[in-house]
Amino acid sequence: MDFFDEIKRRRTFGVISHPDAGKTTLTEKLLLYGGAIQEAGAVKSNKVKKGATSDFMEIERQRGISVATSVLAFMYKNKKINILDTPGHRDFAEDTFRTLTAVDSVIVVIDVAKGVEEQTIKLVEVCRLRSIPILVFINKLDREGKDAFDLMDEVEIKLGLTVTPLSFPIGMGYDFKGIYNLWEENLKLFNPDDKQKISQKIKFNSINDEDLKDILGIDLINKLKEDIDLILGVYPKFDIQKYLSGHLQPVFFGSALNNFGIQELLDCFIDIAPQPQSKSSDVRDINPKESEFTGFVFKIHANMDPKHRDRLAFVKIVSGKFERNTPYLHVRQNKKLKFSSPNTFFAEKKEIVNVSYPGDIVGLHDTGNFKIGDTLSTGEKINFKGIPSFSPEHFRYINNIDPMKAKQLEKGINQLMDEGVAQLFILNINNRKVIGTVGALQFEVIQYRLLHEYGAKCSFENLNVYKACWISIDKSDAKEVDEFKRIKQKFLAKDKLNQLVFLADSSFSLNMTKNKYSSIKFYFTSEFR
């Protein structure tokens, strides 16, 4: 198979949702239908000890939530599928935002009972701004929930999407009978069987099948026919180009927990989802079909295997072929690096790969060379856009409880900050270290990982900070700059890249400072240059 054929068969996508919508369960069942696993893990059940495949960190297994993006790859119908299962909890949203820079499309999971929720709105807005193709999966049909048409109206109004259903439920909750597949024009009946394994569903190729009347009854069949007529009359016909350009979003219904509606979703998805796409750099747009290799680091994870203390940089391949033992330019450091054991992923399981293609995610063993956003290339000096650090919303001093473990704490903090789980600021006035996070739960994760992965104990102390603002200074007005640094010295800090940051203690203080010092610009993301 040649280079261009390899590109055509890649499908790299993220799964996003509000917490508890069933995102990780859906990911598990996609793996199950793809043949990548024989039995799906229970995400939350205490009765089943096997955890979800994509939740491989111990704290994830304990809490039943995803706190870090995991990468899973498998083959399905001669397509190479790369799934990035993202955290749903808002406290880990920054990891999700960065992951969205590495996907070519997304599946948005919505709970049939709760409908569109807050975190879903934020994540979809990021996708819309980047014109990422979106497919909607409405989950948990076996539970009592909102009417299917009401849900689609809610998706259009709250998320600003234009939807068209490609599957539709027959009944809902206790009356859930099956799914009509508008994409393939057939029907499957629901039978709540073994949730962990695939079983055969009763399938009918026509809604007019005589045997169907005996099972569903004439009233339910007539109701389904009315619903289908309404869909065909009200919703736009599916247009693949509108979907790929982000102007039309197909909707599927199902129950991930009960393995229902998943195959319909997967079969359609691999047909319509985009191949690897071009990506903007600071120099030009990079096309995946270019022969020269380029890629970027969108995630770093330390201690995926605590026994080996390994640290991996996740690289999305944008163009060309990535080949093992070939030297590539690390653009920021301006030096060549060679990788003897690049990995492909199946959650925490890894395999050494010799060649990877655009759309693939490879893991590179890292001794501290990489930071999030770094670019690798055959030789061209470019930097990919859209991988910023966001201004944190929670700030705390970090204190060392055990002075004998100072080195371990230092190493742990540095490595976790490189992962992007939080941000480190060092105050100019006294060199105290401040951790900034998007959500408060991150402090618990940091404390847990420092103890269990580095053997370092820490405590946190509250700090009254409203926002961290990266600043750029117009040095032409030296007097004003000097005054700013003198008066605001106790609010100034440096981030890990030695950039100057202003830690505003209130919205009022920030606005007053902006108005008073016109030669200084304030930014809520680190990507402003």
User: What is the C-alpha to C-alpha distance for residues 229 and 41, in angstroms, rounded to an integer?
Assistant: 39
CATH code of the region 279-377: 2.40.30.10
Distance separating alpha carbons of residues 330 and 64, to the nearest angstrom: 37
Does 414 or 209 have the greater pLDDT score?
Answer: 414
> Please, are residues 430 and 490 in contact by the beta-carbon 8 Å criterion?
no
* 373 has a pLDDT exceeding 90: no
pLDDT at 54: 45
Q: How many C-beta atoms lie closer than 10 Å to residue 326's C-beta?
A: 15
Q: What is the pLDDT of residues 410-430, one digit of tens each?
A: 999 988 887 777 889 999 999
Q: What is the pLDDT of residue 303?
A: 62
Query: 């799934």: which residue's tokens?
Result: 83
Q: What's the rounded mean pLDDT across residues 68-82?
A: 82
Report whether pLDDT(3) > 80.
yes
Q: How confident is the model at residue 92 (pLDDT cuts 50, 70, 90)?
A: low
Q: How would residue 387 be classed by pLDDT, with cut points 50, 70 and 90?
A: low
Q: What is the mean pLDDT of residues 153-179?
A: 91
pLDDT (tens digit per residue) in 236-293? 999 999 999 999 999 999 998 888 888 889 999 999 999 999 999 989 999 999 999 9
- Give the count of beta carbons closer than 10 Å to the beta carbon of residue 35: 11
Q: Share the mean pLDDT of the chain.
A: 84
Angle, to 10 degrees, between the axis of helix 148-159 and the axis of helix 118-129?
60
Banded model confidence at residue 389, pLDDT cuts 50, 70, 90: low
pLDDT band at 49 (very low <50, low <70, confident <90, very high): very low
Cα–Cα nearest to 167, from 106, 83, 117, 238: 238
Ranked by mean pLDDT, the top range of 53-57, 152-156, 517-521 is 152-156
Contact 106, 135 (CB under 8 A): yes
Q: Which residue, 112, 266, 115, 263, is CA-closest to 190?
A: 263
Q: Which of 55-69, 200-214, 220-234, 357-371 is the least confident region? A: 55-69
| Separation between Cα atoms, residue 56 and residue 98, nearest integer Å | 20
Return the top range by mean pLDDT from 90-104, 121-135, 157-171: 157-171
- pLDDT at site 307: 57
The better pLDDT of the pair 171, 60 is held by 171
Cα separation values, 42 from 48, 138, 178, 233, Å? 6, 20, 23, 40
Packing angle of the helix pair 262-272, 23-33 (nearest 10 deg): 80
Q: Where are the domains of the chain?
A: 3-272, 279-377, 394-523
Cα dihedral across residues 329, 334, 339, 342: positive or negative: negative
The Cα–Cα gap between 117 and 123 comes to 10
Helix axes 441-454, 406-419, angle to 10 degrees: 130
Query: Who wins on pLDDT, 455 or 372?
Result: 455
Of 8-17, 42-51, 257-266, minimum mean pLDDT range: 42-51
Which carries the bigger pLDDT value, residue 390 or residue 190?
190
Task: State the Cα–Cα distance between residues 164 and 473, nearest whole angstrom.
Answer: 49
Quick check: helix, strand or coil at residue 4? helix
- What is the reported pLDDT for 221? 87
Q: Which CATH class is domain 394-523?
A: alpha beta
Q: Is the dihedral of CA 399, 405, 409, 411 positive or negative?
A: positive
Q: Which CATH architecture has domain 3-272?
A: 3-Layer(aba) Sandwich (3.40)
pLDDT band of 85, cuts 50, 70, 90: confident
Rounded to whole angstroms, how far apart are CA atoms 63 and 67?
10
- pLDDT over threshold 50, residue 44: no
User: What is the pLDDT at residue 175?
Assistant: 84
Distance of CA 463 to the CA centre of its chain: 29
H or E element, residue 318: strand 311-319
Whole-angstrom CA distances from 98 to 30, 244, 312 are 23, 21, 16
CA atoms within 13 Å, Cβ hemisphere of 259: 20
* pLDDT on residue 65: 44
Give the residue with greater pLDDT, 129 vs 156.
Answer: 156
Six-digit token string for 179: 């799914």
Residue 13 near residue 105, CB atoms below 8 Å = yes
Percent of all residues in the chain with a pLDDT value above 70, rounded to a whole number = 86
pLDDT at position 127 is 86
- State mean pLDDT over 128-155: 92
The top-scoring range by mean pLDDT among 81-95, 197-211, 272-286 is 272-286
Query: Would you give the end-to-end CA distance of the chain in angstroms?
Result: 42
